[in-house]
Structure 1
Amino acid sequence: MGVVLQGAGGAAGLAFGPAYRWQRAAVAVDPPHEPPDAALARFHAAQRAAASRLRALAERQRASGLREADLFDAQALLVEDETLTDGVTALVLEGEPLTQAIQTVVAQMQAVLAELDDPYLRERAADMAAVGLELLRALAGDQASPTIPPGAIIVADDLTPAETVDLPHHVAGFATAGGGPTGHTIILARARGVPAVVGVGEAILHVPDGTSLLVDGDAATVLIDPDEAALQAAQERIAALQAARQRRAALRDRSGQLRDGRPVALWANIGRPAEARLAREHGAEGVGLFRTEFLFLDRATPPDEDEQYAAYRAVLAELPDCPIVIRTLDIGGDKPLPYLPLPPEANPFLGVRGLRLSMQRPDLFQTQLRALLRVAVHGDIWIMLPMVATPADLAWARAQLGEAAAALAAAGVDHRPDPPLGVMIETPAAVVLADQLARQAAFFSIGSNDLAQYTLAVDRGHATLAARYRADDPAVWRMIELAARAARQAGIPIGICGELGGDPNAAPALAGLGLDELSMAPASIPAVKERLAQITWAEAQAAAARALGAEEQG
């Protein structure tokens, strides 16, 4: 048995092959005694080249229908960021060599972002480091790509997102010393279906080229020099995974249901119109969460009504006969927008966000509602409200919907005035008042990620409290059961759109609590569909009882 290295996170799958130590291209050497104007001319040329490369990568990902395209668009904007440009310019004018100036300013910006409380902005610290490397690459000019042998396991200190998508398709997998389970590198590996392990530690960098490695993305481990028994076990697992994919592919066009025929609809969570195609390809029966934030981020002005209408219409074009649940803008002070100045908040997760922000900016809300009412004449559009805590919140939103419909009617614009208006159940207050909310709401959808955070009083981005953040904690399950009971009594549908909904192990209990639909990442649908088809309604109810902790203290 060889040496096992444990990583911090992985991309599912197994890969076996020889280690190949990946080396980043050498940094360009600045000309000696270079005049500032010449250095700045090189800098601006590098900015243009790096931004162009990143946007080309974005288009490549977008053409494949992958949401990760947005990442490269965002990095292209960072390459051209005014703070970066001004900082580098100032240092060069002070006499600092260009390469050193770029490294200095990038490190400063990265440090500022890394210290922020919000996990979204902490991820931007890694983006900033990647942007610096892209600029240095552009300064060095085109360099020959290394020849990576087919079937190799890439071993690296770390990989930027751009480097990850640039890896040739014949690479079997990769393992990196750095990185974490929520970083962009591992997200891209999952999107590409490449087995990978990140955060393995420095020991992986001492493995000689050609050494046999077995990468297990499911267990987040790397086995060095596996013996015959380990290889045999891996081959059996690979064969089992291939058989499972074939079984699940055969279920694609079958509706979600239990073994005894009880229906449980399986819908998809998407973040861009292009992902609707992925949802359809994975057998989604609808969209349970269409996040609209992509329309509002990384731009100088808010999207107008026509732009939003076009985006929503594009989803209907891919899934014309399916229900589409569109969540109104869910953003707050932790994601500042140039056109939406918000004061810093000590705890943005308890501050102005979601519907609360819409209340402060009803102009933005009205624009979004008008676009939704217009597109609702073309398909089965449902509108979902985030961060609802009280019936008064829902009543305010319903009044706003009426105003939007009246404005469209007065202008003679074709629209549907009364699409289903529902509530995202993600606060304990919404659970406690679910019976009252159900009198006004057309549907409920459990946002299990934030519901767990608020129920357990744990910031889900807090590094040292990660073990306490469990979306499958009995306290969270009991919150879900209370909301489901209120929905049943009111006769309205209830689903789930948090990560718990895409967990095949949680699916039986969710069905047993009476949820009508589970919404998840498109790729999770086949496994959940297969798991539900294996159990009866009685078995689902028993799973729900276990999840609620009813059998813990016998």
Structure 2
Amino acid sequence: MNKEEIFSGIPASPGIIIGEARLLSRSSGTIAPINVSDPQAEAAVFQNTVVQVKRSLEKTAATVLQKHGADFARIFDAQAMIAGDEVWNKNIEARILKEGLCAEYIYDDEARKVITQLSESKDSYLKERIQDIQAVTARFIGLLKGEKQTALQDIKGPTVVVSRFLSPGDILAISSAKKIGFATGVGGPTSHAALMAKSLGVPAVLGIGELAERIPSGAEIIIDGYSGTFILHPTAATIKKYRELKASEIRLMRQLEELKDQPAVTKDDNEINVLANIELPTEVPKVLAAGAMGIGLYRTEYLFLTKADFPTFEEQYEAYSGILRRMGEKPVVIRTFDLGGDKFPGITGAYTEANPFLGWRAIRFCLDRPEVFKVQLKALLKASVFGNLSIMIPMISNYEEIIATKKILEECKEELRAANVKFKEKIPFGIMIEVPSAAIISEHLAPEVDFFSIGTNDLIQYTVAVDRDHELLAKLYQSFHPSVLALIKASVKAAHRYHRKVSVCGEMAADPLAAVLLIGLGVDELSSGFRMTGILKKVIRSITHTGARRIADHALWLKSHGEVEAYLKKEVSRVFPEIIPVIEFSRRNSHG
């Protein structure tokens, strides 16, 4: 009898699958440099393969555009560009003719060189671009070696597809089946695999390493896409436990479904807006279906994850206007680019960041490159006529950045007026409070903006000087650290003094226990993933604002994260016992 083994990966898409493993081989071994008798004929075979792969990807892109929208289609467009790259392909053809070796060896060798360079980058964004090269390379080598492709679309659930990596095409193929999930050896939270899985509703765990290549097909496994847990050969007790968890999840979701059209109002009649964070425009229908009151954060940097180059004015305008049209009069907060300068296509020169989180990124980059920033601002302004837009600026650390940003925004308005382009004159303009310096001087910043949005993920890591993705320091990344609570309270107090609303769009907003605390601290809006809409409405409708404020007031006097958390658990259980089931469910299924 096989022994149960439990592994931890990266939670990429929520859901639990209990089923058999289906191993999809993605050999990482080196291809042998086989000599060919006729290099000219081998070069011709390679040229024909280029045509086949490029046409196949272009056809897939067209199909995906119709079924899933432009965001996913761009992934395949970008891969088609890689497949058809003339410089790359001429180099490979020249090597075939000169060295007399098989095309698959030379293509793989060239791909490995590029992948090695990208792998050495400290930037997770650049590392994750490796997946496009891997996907294209796998197609080329498969055709050149005459390998038969696995018919993923024929797989029936309950099954977990396990592979070193899955291409976007693989994920689309399995997404139509029920009770199917996947686990991969590589990949991160912003990879194509993670974004597609989440958007298509396919449970997934990434980053399980070499384990993905030694799981036998047919082995019984469990993946928990909420926590990133991967269980090989689960015992009967473990299977029973996860079946009960799935059943309780279904029951809770049915209860929460009844709340989706209900207002988020406390028992003492205080309304707290529940908004949704999105990464892709294709998520808008799910936001509406979940009953969210609007979009509290659209991360525009995800436009880069589905494109090989800088998005044009028209591409940005289409994305922004499409979201605003579909949301109608519901508020939509669009955040300007929050990327490092080294991630923007077209930025020339050797440039690396020793510490990207503290580097040339977000508003710092945009103010230094107004020609880039203006394209985005003008696209936002033009799109504003189609809905209820608010513009939000990330990474503000001082007063001067706000003034400089407002000046550029006014310049954009003047240039659009001169070109007779219509836009809304009064668009709410806000900033993210995620740098401690901004929270400390929030009294000076509040009069210059229309709203604050507190990004708790970065605010916590900047305040306690801990990288939130650092495994060895995870215990020091403390949401309830007294200094973090003091900064949130100070920011809320400053905003309310000038009658400005405050939202929270970080992971604290998705934690029901933290939500009670945030409401007590005076936060007006909570913005999280659309799947949390029902849970947050349940919390809000079950508590009193007065009771939450009393709890928060006491928490501010406590000395440590541990004391605050223990107090919250005890006091919330005593005062608001009906929300304990959703707190337990959410905290068990949190990403950490």
Q: Which band: TM-score by shorter chain?
A: 0.7 to 0.9
- Secondary structure of the 2:392 match is strand
Residue 166 of structure 2 corresponds to residue 166 of structure 1 = no
The residue identity in structure 1 corresponding to 2:322 is: A
CA distance in 2, matches of 1:126, 1:25: 14
Instruction: Give unpaired runs (5+ residues) of structure 1.
Output: none
TM-score (normalizing by structure 1): 0.86
Deviation per residue, 1:458-486 (Å, 9 max, x gap): 34455655554455544433332221221
> Aligned residue for 2:584?
none
> Aligned residue for 2:10?
9
> Aligned residue for 1:534?
542
> Aligned residue for 2:392?
384
Q: 1:534 to 1:179 in 2, by over 3 A?
A: farther
Q: What displacement does 1:44 show? A: 4.0
- Secondary structure of the 1:94 match is helix
Matched residues, percent identical?
32
Q: 1:204 to 1:328 in 2, by over 3 A?
A: closer
Question: For residues 258-337 of structure 1, what are the structure 2 equivalents within 5 Å?
Answer: 258-294=266-302, 298=307, 303-304=312-313, 306-337=314-345
> Aligned residue for 1:50?
53
| Structure in which a larger fraction of residues adopt helix | 2
Cα root mean square deviation, aligned: 3.6
- Secondary structure of the 2:533 match is helix
Deviation per residue, 1:301-327 (Å, 9 max, x gap): 6523x5443332212210111122222
The residue identity in structure 1 corresponding to 2:17 is: A
Deviation per residue, 1:402-430 (Å, 9 max, x gap): 22333333444433333221112122221
Q: 1:218 to 1:537 in 2, by over 3 A?
A: same
> Aligned residue for 1:523?
531
CA distance in 2, matches of 1:256, 1:138: 55
Question: For residues 493-504 of structure 1, what are the structure 2 equivalents within 5 Å?
Answer: 493-504=501-512
Contact 1:287–1:519 under 8 Å retained in 2: yes
> Aligned residue for 1:102?
107
Of 436, 440, 443, the residue aligned with 2:444 is 436
Deviation per residue, 1:494-534 (Å, 9 max, x gap): 11223333333432222222111122232332333333333
Q: 1:52 to 1:425 in 2, by over 3 A?
A: farther
CA distance in 1, matches of 2:482, 2:232: 39
Contact 2:327–2:387 under 8 Å retained in 1: no
> Aligned residue for 1:117?
122
- Secondary structure of the 1:418 match is coil
CA distance in 1, matches of 2:555, 2:38: 68
The residue identity in structure 1 corresponding to 2:141 is: L
Contact 1:175–1:222 under 8 Å retained in 2: no
> Aligned residue for 1:487?
495
Of 129, 136, 139, the residue aligned with 1:131 is 136
CA distance in 2, matches of 1:165, 1:133: 16
Moved more, 227-236 or 64-73: 64-73
Instruction: Give unpaired runs (5+ residues) of structure 2.
Output: 568-592
Contact 2:165–2:184 under 8 Å retained in 1: no
Question: For residues 24-39 of structure 1, what are the structure 2 equivalents within 5 Å?
Answer: 33=36, 35-39=38-42
Q: What displacement does 1:225 show? A: 4.8
Contact 2:185–2:211 under 8 Å retained in 1: no
The residue identity in structure 2 corresponding to 1:88 is: I
- Secondary structure of the 1:108 match is helix
Contact 1:333–1:345 under 8 Å retained in 2: no
The residue identity in structure 2 corresponding to 1:159 is: F
Residue 155 of structure 2 corresponds to residue 153 of structure 1 = no
Deviation per residue, 1:60-86 (Å, 9 max, x gap): 555336955554444444434567436
TM-score (normalizing by structure 2): 0.81
The residue identity in structure 2 corresponding to 1:7 is: S
> Aligned residue for 1:88?
92
Of 344, 350, 356, the residue aligned with 2:358 is 350
Moved more, 29-38 or 375-384: 29-38
Contact 1:267–1:286 under 8 Å retained in 2: yes
- Secondary structure of the 1:550 match is coil
Aligned length: 553
Q: 1:346 to 1:201 in 2, by over 3 A?
A: closer
Deviation per residue, 1:165-203 (Å, 9 max, x gap): 323644634564723563544554343333344445656
Q: What displacement does 1:6 show? A: 1.7
CA distance in 2, matches of 1:424, 1:82: 43
CA distance in 1, matches of 2:396, 2:243: 49
CA distance in 1, matches of 2:33, 2:157: 37
CA distance in 2, matches of 1:471, 1:157: 35
Residue 72 of structure 2 corresponds to residue 64 of structure 1 = no
The residue identity in structure 1 corresponding to 2:117 is: V
Residue 185 of structure 2 corresponds to residue 178 of structure 1 = yes
> Aligned residue for 1:218?
226
Q: 1:188 to 1:246 in 2, by over 3 A?
A: same
> Aligned residue for 1:195?
203
